[in-house]
């Protein structure tokens, strides 16, 4: 029999035994009834509480006795000692009911996380000169071809080289609409092929795939505690010894001082001490608060929002300014060369630009390299490359110097760019040995859902600002299209950091969303750093508190809703648990404490509140 089933059986049998105990206790005064009540209570108590007592004794032997097991053990044994037999059984029975619900809730949350972590296949169908064979994913290298059959998960990030199909992306981004892919489209590991066979060229090692990153981030998140969690843990560490000390004062010191040789006096104050111990158990808080964050992290993960710890939720609820990068965040980040000036030097201009940009991962650089590949220009490996942050690239080969970048880079090398025609889009100027050779116009497109996402964020009373290193005309055009409140153009990475620091000093709680390596410093500086997980650089993802696997700003409002829901549930549980317990504690010092229902009230205030708090906490991992 499984342990969970056995525990449920013990609870049900003990509850069944408690019924005749209560009937006899409150309807019969004969001696036989009293003996029967004692025997049945002892049997039910041992059946339902033996493991709690063993745990308390073990922790006592290791000098770690001040936990809820110890509190419940001495409270129930104390109840037995003063003749409150049904109450003694009830204390242990309902404590086990709370434990049962707690384990069920944790199991449910772990199952959710486990499902998320199961997105990474262990093997792949490798296709090479030896034909098709199944191999461990660790043995597949970048550039090799893998076959993804219908029903299988994509094992690697890569590019489709043969076939067309639909991919179920729900495990990565929570979206139920399949994504259609064909030759040339990028695919992410973890997606499920629900159509036809695909041949995929691997573009990232197994350990750096999207699915592997998600798993690493989720595992890291589970180790990061929210401030409230840390407070509750510390609170319980000091709270329990204090409670035991007060109980000793109530149950031992007070009767000693009042009437030490009168048993009714001892029984009266011992009962008060038992009630105090039961109602003071911090189970509802120490269980429900971590469970709430656990469930919320799992829910966000299922929606493609990876949270690096429970502390992020509290920070997100305080955000009143959303600052965002442009390229790859608001726009697609898929640039293409739209024109080259002068046209008759197209091949020369692209070739020189390629010299500078060939090792860069920036989307603009990639568009130039793609255009260069179509021109089939000459080799450029002889040139050494230097990146000038926020300005562009410099390639050197002996005395030869080639520049590719913005106007600031040209100005730094005294290159006059006035001859270049005005163009809409990003302009990359190309110069050689101090003389302008030409310029390249590159265009990006705004993501289809960016405007809607920003409108939703603004409806949540959040100021929206765009920071970009691009030219003012480009940034202004994009800012107007998506409707941000303000924008700043031609900002270097350090300018972005300074801006965010300035706003935070003014009292703003800033969230920054970006994707590139140059965004990593400002992502780390913001109160909430958010990185695009699909197109984002490793540095940006590593620096971020939140990773959006869907690369969409529409996930920001979803993150806010999850965070507020999580905060609301945590506050509800803390206020409810402390309110009820303090109320019953206060009641225990009134004449009501002398009635037979006092211990039952204490049990309800402890276990009942714990069960309700756990059920409430489970809502955090429920509906999206």
> Strand runs (DSSP E) across 46-114, as ranges?
none
- Asked about 162 being catalytic, the answer comes back as no
Element of type H or E holding 99:
helix 85-117
At CA 399, angle to CA 395 and CA 400, rounded to 5?
A: 45
Residues in the chain: 624
Q: Any bridge partners for residue 430, and if so which?
A: 404, 438
SS (H, E, C) 475-535: HHHHHHHHCCCEEECCCCHHHHHHHHHHHHHCCCCEEEEECCHHHHHHHHHCCEEEEECCC
Cα separation values, 195 from 127, 164, 573, Å: 19, 8, 46
Burial state string for 482-517 with b = 16 or more CB within 10 A and e = fewer than 16: bebeebbbbbebeebbebbeebeeeebbbbbbbbbb
Which of these, 254, 285, 366, 223, lies nearest to 98 by C-alpha position? 285
Which of these, 223, 173, 170, 166, lies nearest to 532 by C-alpha position? 173
State whether residue 1 is helix, strand or coil.
coil
**β 145-148/123-128 pair status:** antiparallel
Cα separation values, 293 from 172, 286, 382, Å: 20, 12, 54
Block residue for tokens 């469930």: 295
User: Alpha-carbon distance 361 to 385, whole Å?
Assistant: 13
Q: What count of other Cβ atoms lies within 10 Å of the Cβ of residue 544?
A: 29
CA dihedral 203, 205, 206, 212 (to 10 degrees): -90
| Rg value, the chain, Cα | 33
| Number of alpha carbons in the 13 Å side-chain half-sphere of residue 54 | 6
146 φ, ψ to 5°? -120, 150
CA dihedral 303, 306, 309, 312 (to 10 degrees): -80
Token readout for 151 is 């029903």
**β 131-136/123-128 pair status:** antiparallel
Going by C-beta distance under 8 Å and a sequence separation of 6 or more, which residues neighbour residue 403?
Answer: 356, 392, 393, 394, 395, 409, 410, 413, 415, 429, 430, 431, 432
The percent helix, strand, coil of the chain (3-state, each to 5) is 55, 15, 25
CB 567, CB 319: distance < 8 Å: no
Of 67, 325, 515, 551, catalytic: 325
**β 546-548/528-532 pair status:** parallel
Write out the catalytic residue numbers: 325
């Amino acid at each position: 029999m499984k342990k969970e089933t056995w525990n449920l059986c013990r609870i049900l049998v003990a509850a069944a035994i408690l019924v005749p105990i209560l009937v006899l206790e409150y309807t019969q005064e004969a001696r036989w009834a009293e003996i029967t009540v004692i025997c049945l209570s002892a049997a039910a108590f041992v059946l339902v509480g033996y493991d709690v007592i063993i745990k308390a004794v073990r922790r006592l032997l290791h000098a770690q006795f001040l936990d809820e097991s110890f509190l419940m053990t001495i409270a129930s044994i104390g109840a037995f000692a003063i003749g409150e037999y049904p109450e003694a059984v009830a204390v242990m029975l309902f404590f086990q009911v709370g434990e049962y619900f707690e384990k069920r809730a944790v199991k449910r949350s772990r199952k959710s996380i486990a499902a998320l972590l199961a997105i990474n296949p262990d093997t792949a169908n490798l296709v090479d000169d030896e034909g098709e064979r199944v191999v461990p994913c660790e043995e597949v290298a970048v550039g090799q071809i893998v076959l993804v059959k219908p029903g299988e998960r994509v094992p690697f990030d890569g590019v489709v080289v043969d076939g067309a199909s639909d991919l179920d992306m729900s495990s990565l981004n929570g979206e139920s609409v399949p994504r259609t892919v064909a030759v040339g489209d990028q695919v992410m590991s973890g997606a499920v092929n629900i159509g036809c066979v695909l041949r995929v060229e691997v573009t990232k090692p197994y350990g750096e795939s999207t699915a592997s990153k998600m798993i690493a981030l989720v595992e890291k998140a589970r180790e990061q505690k929210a401030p409230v969690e840390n407070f509750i843990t510390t609170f319980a560490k000091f709270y329990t010894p204090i409670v035991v000390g007060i109980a000793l004062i109530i149950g031992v010191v007070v009767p000693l001082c009042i009437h030490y040789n009168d048993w009714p006096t001892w029984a009266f104050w011992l009962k008060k001490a038992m009630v105090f111990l039961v109602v003071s158990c911090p189970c509802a808080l120490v269980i429900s608060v971590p469970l709430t964050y656990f469930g919320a992290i799992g829910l966000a993960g299922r929606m493609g929002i990876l949270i690096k710890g429970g502390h992020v939720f509290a920070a997100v609820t305080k955000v009143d300014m959303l600052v965002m990068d442009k390229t790859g965040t608001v726009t697609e980040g898929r640039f293409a060369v739209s024109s080259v000036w002068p046209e008759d030097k197209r091949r020369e201009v692209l070739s020189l630009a390629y010299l500078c940009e060939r090792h860069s991962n920036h989307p603009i650089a990639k568009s130039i390299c793609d255009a260069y590949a179509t021109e089939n220009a000459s080799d450029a490996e002889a040139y050494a490359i230097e990146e000038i942050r926020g300005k562009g690239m410099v390639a050197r080969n002996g005395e030869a110097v080639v520049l590719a970048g913005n106007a600031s880079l040209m100005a730094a090398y005294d290159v006059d760019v006035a001859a270049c025609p005005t163009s809409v889009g990003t302009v990359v100027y190309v110069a050689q040995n101090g003389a302008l050779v030409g310029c390249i116009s590159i265009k990006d497109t705004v993501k289809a859902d960016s405007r809607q996402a920003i409108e939703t964020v603004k409806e949540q009373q959040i100021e929206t600002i765009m920071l970009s290193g691009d030219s003012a005309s480009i940034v202004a055009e994009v800012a107007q299209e998506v409707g941000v409140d303000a924008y700043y153009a031609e900002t270097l990475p350090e300018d972005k950091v300074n801006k965010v620091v300035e706003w935070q000093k003014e009292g703003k709680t800033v969230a920054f969303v970006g994707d590139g390596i140059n965004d990593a410093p400002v992502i780390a500086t913001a109160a909430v750093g958010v990185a695009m997980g699909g197109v984002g650089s490793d540095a940006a993802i590593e620096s971020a508190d939140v990773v959006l696997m869907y690369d969409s700003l529409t996930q920001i409002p979803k993150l806010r809703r999850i965070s507020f829901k999580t905060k609301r549930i945590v506050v509800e549980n803390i206020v409810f648990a402390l309110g009820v317990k303090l109320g019953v504690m206060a009641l225990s010092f009134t004449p009501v404490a002398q009635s037979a229902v006092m211990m039952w009230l204490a049990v309800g205030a402890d276990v009942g509140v714990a069960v309700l708090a756990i059920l409430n906490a489970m809502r955090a991992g429920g509906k999206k």
